[in-house]
Chains A and B, each alone.
Chain A
Amino acid sequence: MSTHHTGGSGRYGFLMTAAIGLVVVLAWYDLGLDTTRLGESGGRLLDFLRRMVPPDLSVLGVVTEAATETVEIALIGTALSIVASIPLGLLAAGTVTPALVHVSVKWLLAAIRGIPLILVAMIMVGAVGLGPLPGVLAIAFHSTGMLAKFFAEAFESVDNRPIAALSSAGATAVQIHWFGTLPQIAPDLLRDVMFRFELNLRESLVLGLVGAGGIGFYIQTYIRSFQYQKVATLTIVILIMVIAIEAITYGLRRILR
């Protein structure tokens, strides 16, 4: 190649940017997005917000109950995902299993991550019926794709030198892993779990849309029946729930180093 390296990559970068820009413009026209409608929406949006006030607190009880169910679905789903992610993470760790195994398991995990939660939830509802059970299963399945990948990365990061030192000093196999391996990775594993729990909580809000339990059912019901004051109560409860959980996990993550 006669082109100077940086000159070549600079031109390549420009062409890529131009191509991406062109795709975005084409997509805009293909969808027929009408900007005048955006301008006219202001009034309707205001009307929507006006009809939310004051929030209808009569549904606070039922909404809080549903929100609690969502938290519980996320919690149990995350717990099941941890159980599945430990063996899968070990199998996917390049330092633990031969290439054929860890590459295959990594592909499997990527495939799991690729299936949207809502699709998994619909399949689970079809399989086990309505209610929180399909929600829990969907969250567990969906989040294992990411959590097991994170666990595998943590297992791969283990420093073998202290392990060798413990082994040389006559520690038993259990002692080696309890005192040598676990302290190295436990904070990372806990951080991964809390991060995934936060994601699971937010993602599980939509489970109710397909009948898989939780607060999503009320989101759908109230909006479709134009009960905006109830939607307001719902929004407040969801906000409080998400912020509270994030504050707790943020605090816990700060303790772990």
Chain B
Amino acid sequence: MQALSLENIHFGYKSGDEPALDIGTLNIGAGERVALIGPSGAGKSTLLRLIDGRLRNWSGNAEVLGETISSSKTPGRAFSRKIGFVFQEFALVERQTVFENIRNGRLVHLSTMRSVFGRLTPEDYKQILTAIEETGLNEFMHRRADELSGGQRQRVAIARCLAQQPGMILADEPISNLDPGRAREILDLLVKVCEHRKATLIISTHQPMLVRTYVDRIIALSKGAVILDEKSSPASAAQVMAVYEKLADPLADRAKPVSA
């Protein structure tokens, strides 16, 4: 079964500009773990926003977890619930506790009235506490987010996703703000929870040599197009290197002075 299937996707931030996304066909199977690599401006974040249903005015066909994505409408709650998003800068409410931040991921299961009056069901509590357990945050549950380290904050952000009970987790450069040790811990955690919950994982990253070892498949983008799509293997290291060597300076050809 496919978790994601894209066909003839085109998107440009300004008409006439080079496309930000230009993808013929791209399929990702359910439960697959994928690294999205490529230089800055290659379209990684744009693609993740499209999959999350937050990109507008693109053309083509996109199906995510069995639902067709619209290029003009905000996705419904039923769809948003299924996609968890992990941000580079954690995106926590700093003054709230770890528990409250993780509860925020559960809101999609609650009506506005219920949530505002704090009437969580036993199932909501169970899911929140499971997420806390899975991410190893038990002892920090009542600490404020602004008292935590970067690695701990990213754990909270992952737990917030898990409280949604997502079928897919999109992680947009989740380790860019972390030291190498914490980065490995976060990657380990993402892989572990996705395996356990049979969720599809797509990680965009600027550390391809590290992330490569955590995923099944590597997709490289350049100028919005797929330029590499390989199974992750010892042999793929050289291909990953080649992507970056070829794209060593992505602006080099654009930066040429215009000759008269």
Chain A residues packing against B (C-beta within 8 Å): 159, 161-162, 164-166, 168-172, 174-175, 178-180, 183-184, 187, 257
Encoded as 1 (CB less than 8 Å from any A CB) or 0, chain B from 100 to 127 comes to: 1001110110101001100000000000
Check if A169 sits within 8 Å of B94, measured CB to CB: no
> Among A162, A164, A179, A187, which residue has its beta carbon within 8 angstroms of that of B107?
A179
- Residue among A165, A178, A184 making CB contact with B115, cutoff 8 Å: A178
- Decide yes or no: A161 and B112 within 8 Å by CB, A166-B107, A169-B104, A179-B107 being known contacts: no
Chain B interface (Cβ within 8 Å of chain A)? 52, 54, 77, 79-81, 83-85, 87, 89-96, 100, 103-105, 107-108, 110, 112, 115-116, 157, 160-161, 164
- Residue contact B95 to A257, C-beta cutoff 8 Å: yes
Tell me how many residue pairs across A and B have CB atoms closer than 8 Å: 75
Q: What are 6 pairs between A and B in contact, CB < 8 Å?
A: A159-B94, A164-B91, A165-B92, A175-B112, A179-B107, A183-B95
CA distance A183 to B83 in the complex (A): 25
* Contacting pair B95 A162 (CB below 8 A): no
- Select one of B52, B79, B108, B161 contacting A171, CB under 8 A: B108
**Residue with the highest number of chain B CB atoms closer than 10 Å, among A164, A172, A187:** A172
Contact B108 A170 (CB under 8 A): yes
List of B residues within 8 angstroms of A165 by Cβ: 85, 87, 91-92, 104, 157, 160
B161 CB contacts on chain A under 8 angstroms: 169
Chain B residues near A257: list those with CB within 8 A.
95
Q: Is the CB of B85 within 8 A of A179?
A: no
Given contacts A169-B80, A169-B105, A162 and B115 within 8 Å (CB-CB)? no
- Tell me the smallest distance from the CB of A190 to a CB of chain B, in Å: 12
Q: Is the CB of B93 within 8 A of A162?
A: yes
Apart from A165-B87, A175-B115, A179-B100: 4 A-B pairs, beta carbons within 8 A: A165-B104, A170-B107, A171-B108, A179-B104
* Bound form: Cα–Cα A159–B95 in Å: 11
